[in-house]
Every structure is written in structure tokens, then in C-alpha cells.
């Protein structure tokens, strides 16, 4: 990907020529947003022309900085992220407040440039819980029909390839646009996009492929580990509600209109000669975009605060669900107060691109399967598989009983070993992670009463006042608020009394030279579960393996880490560069939330007039935060967030394994379970 200044410079030249050209013809400037309004597929440069046509409104800029800065007082990790400890000190070193001071003083050519700087500043945390997303700039997504994969050759060398299944994916998903790419291919390749599938990629835009991979790793955010961020460049699969889906990867899908085209030098399968190709990126409308036909309706329909952008006083207004839900990487499910979430966020919605039929498992899904959880028995008759794409992939109770029923069904069918495939699992219900841990390993000191991690919340002055107001004025009789003492237990698992300000006294610490304060240690919150767990272990921990591509976040991390570090369960990361350590999960958190939810706490506590309270947000933005942070297992005094999670096995991807779940499960069985 070209550095930012590159394409902006190119664009401003090009944009001026374009506008002048048209103005000569039409005698007036064409509305740049009318060009893309009402269209499904457009050129990325036309999306940029629309985005870049709005000047920065100083009041809006101040509002965004004010909301984000003040909401960060509720994010647990601000000071840790100034410099994370080893092994992540090279990966996480972002001082947000220094950058906000810089942004505040910087003059931007357009509101879009301000957005990119703001978004990338937050992304440098490499923490998918703490993000800035503005729906105004998620109108269209950029696509190429050639997702890439990293394959290991027979001699152990690794090369970037166009995915073997690329054409099968693209010809179905992009049926209405594929001819544009077919026609863009040069000379004898014209119309032969299919023959590119599986090709080795020798260069991307004139450079070695890993230069692009690594440049993307620096701006993609989401995960601490460099290896995981490298892997985000490539395509992958995930279990979604009712089927397996295909994730295009950051090369073939960009959430901003960053690139216009790509030049590749490729060697096609069974060819000795090289081909040089240029393919255009094409921007497809985000289904969540509200239709518009000009600049005025674009801004009015997509860029101003909507229901759920800001919170409400729940004692005087109807509770609306937070607008952040749209960006959580989990299927939408109603969440009640007893079902706290820990989930990664992203500007792009969860993929609904189909994994091609030849790569879908053909074995029947077994009893207990629900939404994004599916049970399969492998051909060996002894290896059961749970493919789990989300920890909130269905209604809580459905999921709770489904997980138990599915594992029991596998056992009844003779399964003695278990693979849990959590590829691209972005988290979900915290207590579902605890439940799955508990039912697999049975009752023991590491699963009863605490099958997850103890946590702590940030303990700033406004948070303390919220708790005190709830107590003094009895503002939350239904226990809807996060700060209500009755919702939490102390380190011994004893529920706080209704009048106990659990943020007092704060635990004062210094982190990276900054004074900080946290709550006392909070204990488990999930047990007793609302269903009865089995009396004994369902599987022997030495016969359980957790498999993913490293993209296992939030509640998925809570599950994987406790299973690995406490139960000795082995972990596998499929794919990734062989000389880079592969982490089996990332971003642990403890509980995630967002600005709108915090604003509801503040408003209901009647503290909106505090100078510490963020104002209402004026734009269609969403800010995620980590509200509670889990304590470590190896180093129990420090957060688990930046402790090491190396995979037991890094399974190299070959053409027969890549994006083929059943083949991967067989390979894992052969390596670790035979
Ligand atoms: C490449 O050659 C092998 C061996 O002849 C053949 O089996 C395979 O189908 C060929 N692949 C393609 C994409 O042409
Ligand atoms: C503008 O878009 C709206 C839908 O948002 C549509 O109903 C209307 O006809 C469009 N107007 C023009 C002039 O295209
Ligand atoms: C933009 O579109 C809306 C809806 O079609 C229309 O009412 C309005 O006049 C248009 N504005 C401009 C500046 O063209
Ligand atoms: C699955 O459930 C159905 C209906 O409840 C039952 O007939 C079937 O035997 C069950 N299959 C297994 C493998 O338990
Ligand atoms: C905030 O408003 C409340 C009344 O709702 C008032 O009692 C309080 O003094 C105000 N606080 C500040 C800081 O203005």
C-alpha cells in the first residue's frame, strides 16, 4: 500500500485536473458526491473526491477530540499503551494525548484527512477494543478479485500466492463487477482471470510482497502481535451463522478508498514465464450506507449523530442500543445486563462472503449446533470438532445449552479428542467463554468458581462520582448500569453491597511514569451458571487442541488463554511467516464497551454537566474502549493483555490446506492428536 502522502499528493493533482476539466464543459463544479450517489460500484478515486471535498469544521474537530479524550478516562489501558512490556514493547507504544495535541494543532486539507489521522492514531494502539470509527467514511469498501495467501512450499520456503480459490470466491461474490476486472487484464490474459488463481506473486507495486504485508501491518491495528497483523493481509475463513464465510484480507479488501490499482508480477500455476498485470480496485457500497444523491444528503444521512450515538438518562428516556453494535465483530444479538460482552470492533462488518462449496465441510452438523457454533465428527470417528466463530453467535441460553449438547453428542458418537476451531472469533459473551472452559475441563480449582480472569476497572474521579450518585440517589433500581455496585463481586467472589462504592479506595499505581488508578480486584461474575454444568470433564485437556489463525480476540482470548495456561491445552496457529512468532490470540481485555454506553452511565447518574464528562458526539462516530482489564495467569499482578501467548504449533499452509477447514483439522489431528 502506498504511503498516505503519496496518494493524497497524486490525488490532489488529479482531482484539480478533473474538476477543471468538467467545469470547462459544464461551467460549474460537479458535486463530487453526486458522482457516487445511488451507485453500487464506483472508482475509489471518486469516493476520495467526495470524502475530500469537505473542509474541517473546527467545532466538529474540537467535539471529536473532546469526546474521545474524555472517554479515554474510562479505558483501562491508556498508560500501559504508552509502552507495553515485553514481548510487545516494539508493537505497542502510542501516547494518545501527545498525538491529540498534535492533531489539535494540525491543519488538514479536508475532514477526510483528519479522519485518517485520528483513526490511525487509535489504530497504533494495536488494540481492537479501543478504536475510532466514523460511519461517514465507511460508505464504500475497496475490493480486488484476487485475495492473497501465504503458502509454504515443499522445501520450506514461503511465498505469497493468489489464493487457489480466488476466482471461485470472486466470480460469485462479485458477479456483477467481474467483467471490469476481466477486461482490465492485459493482452492474452484478458477474460482469463480464472487462470490467475494460485499464481505465485513475485512483486506488488514493484516491491517484494512482504514490503506490502509489513506496511499494512503498521496501519491495520486490531492486534498487538506483528505476526497477527501480517496475517490480516491474507484471506481466511470463519464460521458464521449457518455457514462458513470467507474473509478477503486487507490486500483484497480495504475499509477506506486507499488504492486505485495494484501492479503485480506473477507466475501462474504450471507456467514458467512471468506475467505483469495491473488490476483496479473497485469500491462497493457498504450495505449499511444510507442512500444519498449529493453532498448534502451524503452528510445528512451518514455523517451526523444517530440514535444510539450518544447515551440517554434511562430514568427519563427509553434505552436505545448503542450505535457501536454495528461495528462489533459478532453477529447482532440482544444483550441483557447479565450478558456482558468482550468483543473486537472494526469499520468493516463481519464478512458474509461465502467460502466456496468445495471448501465447506460436508459432514452433517451435529445436534447442539447453533448460529456460529457448529459440531462435526471427523472421518476417524474419534476427533470431534467445534467450529466456533463467535462467543455471542446466538441467544445466550441457546448457545449455553447448544455447547453442552454438542459436546455430549460428540462423546456419545465416540469422540475422545476435540478440536476447537476459533479462527476469526472476535469474542462475545464473557460468561460463554467461562462456560465452555468449565464444561470441557469439569469442576476444579481453575474452573470453579472462576473459569476466566479476575479484572479491574479504571478508577477516575468521574467514575467514582457515578458510583456515588447511583448509591446516594438510588438511580438504578433495575441494575442496568455498569457502575452499580450490585453488579460486581470482590476478589473473593462476594457481591458488593448496594451502598458500597466499589471504586473506593482506588489502587494508585504508576505506569510508564504516569500516575494512574484502578478499582480493587474484581472476582468472578458468571457462576453459578444459569444451566447446570456436568459433574466431570467432557474431554481430557491433553486431548483438546485450539486452532486459529491468531485472530482470536476478547472473549475468545479469555477462553484460549485459560485453557492453555491453566489446563495445558495445546494451541495451533495456521499460516504466518515462519520466522515470526505466532501468538494464538490477541487483545484480551476483560470487558469492552463504548462511548455511548459510558454516556448513558453519566447521564443517568446526572453528571453530564461535570467538566470531566464528554459532550454529546455530533458526528456518526463510535469509540470503543476496554472497560475492565483481566489480570494475568503467569504474572498475576499484571494484565494478561501484554503477556506472551505463543502457539504450540505453527502449521504451515500448503495449497491443499489453505482455507480448507476439514483439511486443516485433519492435519492438526495428524500432528497433535494421533
Ligand atoms: C498443473 O499441472 C498439473 C500436472 O500436470 C495438473 O494436475 C494441474 O491440474 C495443473 N494445474 C493448472 C491450474 O493448470
Ligand atoms: C435522491 O435519493 C432519494 C433516496 O434517498 C430518492 O428518493 C430521490 O429520488 C433522489 N433524487 C434525485 C434527484 O435523484
Ligand atoms: C440534494 O438532494 C436532495 C434530495 O434529492 C435535494 O432535495 C437537494 O436539493 C439536493 N441538493 C443539492 C445541493 O443538489
Ligand atoms: C439428534 O437429535 C435428534 C432429535 O432430537 C435425534 O433423533 C438424533 O438421534 C440425535 N442425534 C445424535 C447423534 O445424537
Ligand atoms: C449539575 O447539575 C446538578 C442538577 O442536575 C446540580 O445540582 C449541580 O450543581 C451541577 N453541577 C455542576 C458542576 O454544574
SS3 for 301-365 is: HHCECCCCCCCCCCCCCCCCCCHHHHHECCCCCCCCCCCCEEECECCCCCCCCECCHHHCCCCCC
For residues 607-638, one letter each, b for 16 or more C-beta atoms within 10 angstroms of the residue's C-beta and e for the rest, the string is bbeeeebbeebbbbbbbbbbbbbbbbeeeeee
Determine which residue's CA is closest to atom 4 belonging to ligand 1.
270
546 Cβ neighbours under 8 A, 6+ residues apart: 419, 420, 422, 552, 559, 560, 563, 564, 569, 570, 571, 572, 584
Which pLDDT belongs to residue 85?
A: 97
Mean pLDDT of 327-347: 82
**Bridge partners, 370 (sequence order):** 373
261 with 404, same domain?
no
**Ligand 4 atom with minimal separation from the 367 CA:** 1
Mean pLDDT of 284-291: 97
DSSP 194: G
Q: Is 196 a member of any domain?
A: yes
Question: Cα–Cα distances in Å, from 301 out to 56, 119, 255?
Answer: 18, 21, 19
Contact 596, 322 (CB under 8 A): yes
Verify whether ligand 5 is closer than 6 Å to residue 316 (CB atom): no
Measured distance CA(613)–CA(67) in Å, rounded: 8
Q: How confident is the model at residue 28 (pLDDT cuts 50, 70, 90)?
A: low
pTM (two decimals): 0.94
Query: Is the pLDDT assigned to residue 487 strictly greater than 80?
Result: yes
276 with 401, same domain?
no
265 with 373, same domain?
no
Grid-cell match 470433564, residue found:
537
Measured distance CA(555)–CA(433) in Å, rounded: 6
The CA angle 451-391-549, to the nearest 5 degrees, is 100
Q: What is the CATH number of the domain that holds 394?
A: 3.90.226.10
Query: Is the pLDDT assigned to residue 212 strictly greater than 60?
Result: yes
Residue of 195 and 17 predicted with greater confidence = 195
Measured distance CA(122)–CA(88) in Å, rounded: 17
Q: Is 633 a member of any domain?
A: no
Pocket perturbation via mutation, ligand 1, pick of 161, 197, 269 by most ligand atoms within 8 A of CB: 269
Q: Where are the beta strands (DSSP E) in 98-182?
A: 132-134, 140-143, 148-152, 158-162
Q: Give me ligand 5 centre to Cα 610, in Å.
A: 7
**Ligand 4 atom with minimal separation from the 409 CA:** 14
Q: How many domains does the chain have?
A: 2
Which pLDDT belongs to residue 339?
A: 84
267 with 371, same domain?
no
Q: Is 393 a member of any domain?
A: yes
**Bridge partners, 386 (sequence order):** 375, 420
Query: Is the pLDDT assigned to residue 29 strictly greater than 90?
Result: no
Question: Cα–Cα distances in Å, from 377 out to 5, 387, 431, 439, 658?
Answer: 52, 11, 26, 19, 20
Verify whether ligand 1 is closer than 6 Å to residue 195 (CB atom): no
Mean pLDDT of 209-231: 98
367 with 268, same domain?
no
Sequential DSSP letters for 355-399: PPGGGS--SPPPTT-BTTEEEEE-TTSSEEEEEES-BTSS-HHHH
Q: Give me ligand 5 centre to Cα 488, in Å.
A: 28
DSSP 56: -
Measured distance CA(212)–CA(160) in Å, rounded: 11
Pocket perturbation via mutation, ligand 1, pick of 167, 168, 200, 270 by most ligand atoms within 8 A of CB: 270
Q: Is 12 a member of any domain?
A: no
Mean pLDDT of 65-69: 98
374 with 275, same domain?
no
- Angle, in degrees to the nearest 10, between helices 96-105 and 58-71: 170
254 with 368, same domain?
no
Measured distance CA(330)–CA(391) in Å, rounded: 8
Q: Give me ligand 3 centre to Cα 293, in Å.
A: 7
279 with 421, same domain?
no
DSSP 517: E
**Ligand 5 atom with minimal separation from the 606 CA:** 5
Which residues does a 6 A CB cutoff place in the pocket of ligand 4? 366-367, 409, 412-413
Q: Is 25 a member of any domain?
A: no
Q: How confident is the model at residue 19 (pLDDT cuts 50, 70, 90)?
A: very low
Query: Is the pLDDT assigned to residue 89 strictly greater than 70?
Result: yes
Mean pLDDT of 63-74: 98
Q: How do 200-204 and 590-594 pair as beta strands? A: unpaired
Q: Is 471 a member of any domain?
A: no
Pocket perturbation via mutation, ligand 2, pick of 33, 293, 296 by most ligand atoms within 8 A of CB: 293
Percent share of the chain, pLDDT over 70: 95
Which pLDDT belongs to residue 583?
A: 98
Query: Is the pLDDT assigned to residue 410 strictly greater than 60?
Result: yes
DSSP 201: E
Q: Give me ligand 2 centre to Cα 297, in Å.
A: 9
Would you call 53 helix, strand, or coil by DSSP?
A: coil
Determine which residue's CA is closest to atom 9 belonging to ligand 4.
367
Contact 600, 312 (CB under 8 A): yes
Which pLDDT belongs to residue 96?
A: 98
Ligand number nearest CA of 406 is: 4
Look at residues 633, 653, 650 and name the one whose alpha carbon lies nearest to residue 641: 633
Interval 163-177: pLDDT, tens: 999 999 999 999 999
**Ligand 4 atom with minimal separation from the 413 CA:** 13
**Ligand 5 atom with minimal separation from the 610 CA:** 13
Q: Is 663 a member of any domain?
A: yes
Mean pLDDT of 18-45: 72
Rg (C-alpha) for the chain, rounded Å, is 25
Strand 373-377: give its sheet, edge to edge.
373-377, 383-388, 417-421, 544-548, 570-574, 649-651
Verify whether ligand 1 is closer than 6 Å to residue 269 (CB atom): yes
Which pLDDT belongs to residue 674?
A: 85
Ligand number nearest CA of 269 is: 1
Query: Is the pLDDT assigned to residue 24 strictly greater than 50?
Result: no
Look at residues 284, 249, 222, 205 and name the one whose alpha carbon lies nearest to residue 2: 205
367 with 281, same domain?
no
366 with 280, same domain?
no
**Ligand 3 atom with minimal separation from the 294 CA:** 1
Q: What is the CATH number of the domain that holds 222?
A: 2.30.42.10
Helix or strand (DSSP H, E) at 254: strand 253-254
Measured distance CA(130)–CA(3) in Å, rounded: 24
Q: Which three cell numbers stand for residue 653?
A: 499452509
Pocket perturbation via mutation, ligand 5, pick of 466, 609, 610, 613 by most ligand atoms within 8 A of CB: 609
513 class by beta-carbon count within 10 Å (0-12 exposed, 13-18 middle, 19+ buried): exposed
Interval 413-469: pLDDT, tens: 999 999 999 999 999 999 999 999 999 999 999 999 999 999 999 999 999 999 999
Q: How do 383-388 and 417-421 pair as beta strands? A: parallel
Alpha-carbon torsion (345, 349, 352, 355), positive or negative? negative
Q: Give me ligand 1 centre to Cα 271, in Å.
A: 10
Least confident range from 24-28, 41-45, 285-289, 354-358: namely: 24-28
| Mean of all residue pLDDT scores within the chain | 94
365 with 257, same domain?
no
Contact 635, 500 (CB under 8 A): no
**Bridge partners, 591 (sequence order):** 628
Q: Give me ligand 4 centre to Cα 543, in Å.
A: 25
Q: Is 44 a member of any domain?
A: no
435 with 564, same domain?
yes
Least confident range from 145-159, 269-283, 313-327, 631-645: namely: 313-327
Pocket perturbation via mutation, ligand 4, pick of 367, 402, 404, 406 by most ligand atoms within 8 A of CB: 367
Which phi and psi (to 5°) does residue 631 adopt? -80, 155
Would you call 81 helix, strand, or coil by DSSP?
A: helix
438 class by beta-carbon count within 10 Å (0-12 exposed, 13-18 middle, 19+ buried): buried
Ligand number nearest CA of 609 is: 5
- Domain range for residue 181? 141-228+247-285
Amino acid at each position: 500500500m502506498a504511503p498516505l502522502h503519496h496518494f493524497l499528493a497524486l490525488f490532489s493533482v488529479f482531482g484539480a485536473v478533473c474538476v477543471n476539466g468538467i467545469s470547462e464543459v459544464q461551467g460549474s463544479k460537479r458535486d463530487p458526491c453526486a458522482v457516487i450517489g445511488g451507485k453500487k460500484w464506483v472508482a475509489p478515486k471518486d469516493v476520495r473526491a467526495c470524502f475530500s471535498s469537505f473542509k474541517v469544521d473546527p467545532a466538529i474537530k474540537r467535539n471529536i477530540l473532546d469526546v474521545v479524550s474524555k472517554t479515554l478516562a474510562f479505558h483501562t489501558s491508556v498508560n500501559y499503551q504508552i509502552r507495553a512490556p515485553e514481548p510487545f514493547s516494539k508493537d505497542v507504544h502510542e501516547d494518545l494525548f501527545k498525538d491529540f495535541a498534535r492533531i489539535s494543532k494540525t491543519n488538514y486539507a479536508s475532514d477526510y484527512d483528519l479522519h485518517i489521522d485520528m483513526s490511525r492514531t487509535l489504530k497504533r494502539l494495536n488494540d481492537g477494543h479501543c478504536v475510532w470509527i466514523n460511519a461517514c467514511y465507511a460508505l464504500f469498501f475497496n475490493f480486488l478479485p484476487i485475495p492473497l495467501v501465504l503458502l509454504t512450499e515443499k522445501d520450506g520456503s514461503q511465498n505469497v500466492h493468489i489464493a487457489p480459490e480466488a476466482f471461485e470466491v470472486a466470480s460469485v461474490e462479485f458477479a456483477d463487477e467481474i467483467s471490469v476486472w476481466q477486461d482490465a487484464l492485459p493482452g492474452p490474459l484478458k477474460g482469463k482471470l480464472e487462470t490467475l488463481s494460485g499464481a505465485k506473486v513475485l512483486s506488488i507495486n514493484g516491491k517484494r510482497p512482504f514490503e506490502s504485508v509489513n506496511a499494512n501491518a503498521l496501519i491495520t491495528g486490531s492486534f498487538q502481535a506483528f505476526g497477527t497483523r501480517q496475517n490480516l493481509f491474507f484471506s481466511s475463513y470463519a464460521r458464521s451463522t449457518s455457514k462458513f464465510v470467507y474473509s478477503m484480507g486487507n490486500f483484497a479488501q480495504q475499509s477506506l478508498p486507499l488504492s486505485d490499482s495494484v501492479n503485480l508480477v506473477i507466475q501462474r500455476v504450471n507456467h514458467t514465464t512471468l506475467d505483469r498485470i495491473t488490476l483496479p480496485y473497485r469500491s462497493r457500497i457498504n450495505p449499511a450506507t444510507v442512500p444519498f444523491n449529493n453532498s448534502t444528503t451524503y452528510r445528512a444521512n451518514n455523517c451526523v449523530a444517530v440514535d444510539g450515538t450518544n447515551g440517554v438518562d434511562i430514568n427519563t428516556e427509553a434505552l436505545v442500543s448503542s450505535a457501536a453494535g454495528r461495528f462489533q465483530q459478532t453477529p447482532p444479538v440482544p444483550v441483557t445486563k447479565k450478558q456482558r460482552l468482550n468483543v473486537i470492533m472494526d469499520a468493516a462488518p463481519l464478512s458474509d462472503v461465502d467460502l466456496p462449496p468445495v471448501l465447506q465441510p460436508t459432514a452433517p452438523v451435529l445436534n447442539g449446533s447453533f448460529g456460529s457454533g457448529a459440531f462435526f465428527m471427523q472421518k476417524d470417528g474419534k476427533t470431534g470438532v467445534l467450529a466456533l466463530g463467535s462467543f455471542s453467535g446466538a441467544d445466550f441460553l441457546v448457545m449455553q445449552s447448544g455447547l453442552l449438547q454438542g459436546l455430549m453428542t460428540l462423546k456419545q458418537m465416540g469422540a475422545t479428542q476435540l478440536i476447537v476451531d476459533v479462527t476469526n472469533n472476535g469474542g462475545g459473551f464473557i460468561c460463554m467463554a467461562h462456560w465452555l472452559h468449565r464444561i470441557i475441563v469439569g469442576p476444579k480449582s481453575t474452573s470453579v468458581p472462576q473459569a476466566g480472569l479476575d479484572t479491574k476497572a479504571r478508577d477516575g474521579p468521574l467514575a467514582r462520582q457515578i458510583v456515588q450518585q447511583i448509591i446516594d440517589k438510588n438511580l438504578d433500581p433495575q441494575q442496568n448500569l455498569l457502575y452499580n455496585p450490585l453488579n460486581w463481586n470482590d476478589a473473593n467472589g462476594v457481591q458488593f453491597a448496594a451502598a458500597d462504592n466499589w471504586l473506593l479506595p482506588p489502587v494508585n499505581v504508576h505506569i510508564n511514569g504516569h500516575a494512574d488508578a484502578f478499582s480493587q480486584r474484581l472476582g468472578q461474575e458468571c457462576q453459578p451458571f444459569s444451566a447446570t454444568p456436568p459433574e466431570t470433564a467432557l474431554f481430557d485437556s491433553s486431548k483438546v487442541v485450539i486452532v486459529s489463525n491468531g485472530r482470536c480476540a476478547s472473549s475468545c482470548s479469555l477462553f484460549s488463554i485459560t485453557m492453555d495456561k491453566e489446563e495445558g491445552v495445546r494451541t495451533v496457529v495456521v499460516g504466518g511467516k515462519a520466522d515470526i512468532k505466532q501468538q494464538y490470540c490477541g487483545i484480551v481485555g476483560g470487558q469492552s464497551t463504548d462511548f455511548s454506553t459510558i454516556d448513558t452511565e453519566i447521564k443517568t447518574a446526572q453528571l453530564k454537566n461535570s467538566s470531566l464528562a464528554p459532550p454529546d458526539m455530533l458526528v456518526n462516530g463510535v469509540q470503543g474502549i476496554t472497560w475492565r482489564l483481566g489480570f494475568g495467569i503467569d504474572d498475576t499482578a499484571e494484565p494478561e493483555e501484554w503477556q506472551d501467548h505463543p502457539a504450540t504449533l505453527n502449521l504451515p499452509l500448503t495449497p491443499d490446506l489453505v482455507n480448507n477447514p476439514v483439511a486443516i483439522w485433519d492435519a492438526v489431528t495428524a500432528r497433535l492428536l494421533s
